[in-house]
Amino acid sequence: MLPLIGEETRTDVVDEALQDVNSWRKKMIHYVKEENPEVNAAIIDAASKTELDPKAVALGAYLIYMMLEKADKEESGMLDTILE
C-alpha cells in the first residue's frame, strides 16, 4: 500500500522544486536513476513518448516520487516509534 502524503510533505516538496524547477528536475533525474533505475527509465519513456511537454511530464513524476519517498520515511519513522 502506498503511504499517505500529508499536506506538509506536499508543500515541502513542491516548494523545494519550485525554487529552481530546471535544476531540481535535473537533480532528480540523477537521484532517481541511482535509487531506482527502472522508475527513472519509465519516467523518461513516458516523457519522451507523449505529445505533452516532456519536461513537465518528468517534473510531475519526480514530484510524486519524492512525495511518496518522504511520506514512506515519515510512516516508517512513526512505526518505529510505535513499536518501541
Q: For residue 68, what is the enclosing H or E element?
A: helix 54-83
Instruction: Please report which confidence band the pLDDT of residue 48 belongs to, taking 50, 70 and 90 as the band edges.
Output: very high
- Three-point CA angle 13, 27, 41, nearest 5°: 100
pLDDT score of 75 = 86
Angle between helices 7-19 and 54-83 (to 10 degrees): 140
Residues 76-83, mean pLDDT to the nearest whole number: 62
Q: What is the pTM of this model?
A: 0.85
Instruction: Decide if 80 is inside a domain.
Output: no
Asked if residue 54 belongs to a domain, the reply is yes
Specify whether the CB–CB gap between 44 and 51 falls below 8 A. Answer: no
Residue 15 lies in a domain: yes
- Number of structural domains (the chain) is 1
Distance CA 4, CA 7 (A): 10
Domain that holds residue 42: 7-73
Mean pLDDT value of segment 22-49: 94
